[in-house]
Amino acid sequence: MDAIAFDRVTLARAGRIVLTDVSAAIRPGEFIGVFGPNGAGKTTLLHAVLGLLQPVSGALRVFGATPMRGNDEAGYLPQTRTPSPDLRLRGRDFVASAFRGERFGLPRLGRDGRREVDWAIETVEAKALAYRVLRELSGGELQRLHLAQALLGKPKLLLLDEPLTGLDPHFQEAAVALVKRIQRSRGITVLFTAHELNPLLGAMDRVLYLGQGRAALGTVDEVITGEVLSRLYGARIEVLRGNGRILVASGRGPVESDVHRHDV
C-alpha cells in the first residue's frame, strides 16, 4: 500500500486551479523533497494530504483511505507558526500545549500524556531545552520544539512546510539531519517543502517538483534536469552541477530562492 497516492488529482484554492491531473505514488518510509516556484501548490498539496482541502477531481488516498481532518497518522509543521503568547513558557510546556491538537493553554496530560511529551522531546534531541524558557532559545532550537509538537501521537506521515525558513546554514544542516534520523529510525514517510534543493540533497529519496499546474516525481537525476524544469517553469531553465551542489538558472541568471516561496 502506498503512503500517499494521487490519481489524476486536481486541486484548487480560492477558486483558482493550482494543480491539474496529478498522478503520483509515494511509498511508505520515503523522504520526499517538495519544490516549485511561488504559487506552484506546495502548501495546497500538503493541505489536501491532511484532508483540509478536497480535490476538485480525481482520487487522493493516504495509507489507502480518504484524507480526513484530525488524522492522527499525520503530523504537520506549518510554515506560518504562531509564536507562544507567553515567551516565558518552558520548552516542555510549549510542546505539551499541542497535545491532542491543543495550541494554547496547558492540557491535563495524565501519565500517558507526560510520557508522550517526554518521548517527542527526546526524539528531537531537545532534552536540554525542556526546562529553558522560549525567549532564551535560538530559531533552530525553537524549530526542534515545533518538530516535537508535530511528532506527538507518533504519526506515520510527517508533513513539514518550509521548516528551514529563517535558519542559518548551520541550523539548516542540523534540522535536515535530525529529520532524516527520525525518518530512518521510525520508518516514517516525510514530505519536506523547501526553498532550495541543496540543503536536502543528501537526505531525499526522491523529489516532487511542482510548476505550471503539473508535477514531476522521481530521483534528483530524473527530475532536476533542464528539460523537466523548463516544462514546469514554462521558461528555459538550465541545471548546473558542481562540487556536490546544483544551480538552477534561467536565461536571466540563477533562479533565486525567493521564487520558491510559499504558495499561500
Please give the pLDDT value at position 97.
85
Domain shared by 19 and 8, yes or no: yes
Question: What SS3 state is found at 85?
Answer: coil
Indicate the pTM of the whole model.
Answer: 0.88
Please give the pLDDT value at position 85.
54
Domain shared by 242 and 168, yes or no: yes
Please give the pLDDT value at position 75.
94
Per the structure block, which three cell numbers stand in for 116? 508522550
Query: What is the total count of domains within the chain?
Result: 2
| pLDDT averages per 10-residue partition of the chain, 264 residues | 96 94 97 92 96 96 92 88 67 86 59 90 94 90 93 95 90 94 96 93 96 95 94 90 88 50 36
Domain shared by 165 and 65, yes or no: yes
Domain shared by 125 and 159, yes or no: no
Domain shared by 55 and 97, yes or no: no
From residue 5, give the alpha-carbon distance in Å to each of 21, 60, 165, 232.
13, 6, 28, 21
Q: How far apart are CA 96 and CA 121, in angstroms?
A: 10
Domain with 94, as residue range(s), is 83-154
DSSP labels for 206-244? EEEEEETTEEEEE-HHHHSSHHHHHHHHTS-EEEEEETT
Domain shared by 32 and 126, yes or no: no
Q: Outline where the chain has alpha helix (H).
A: 42-49, 91-96, 110-123, 139-151, 169-186, 220-223, 226-233
Please give the pLDDT value at position 263.
37
Domain shared by 24 and 64, yes or no: yes
Please give the pLDDT value at position 82.
58
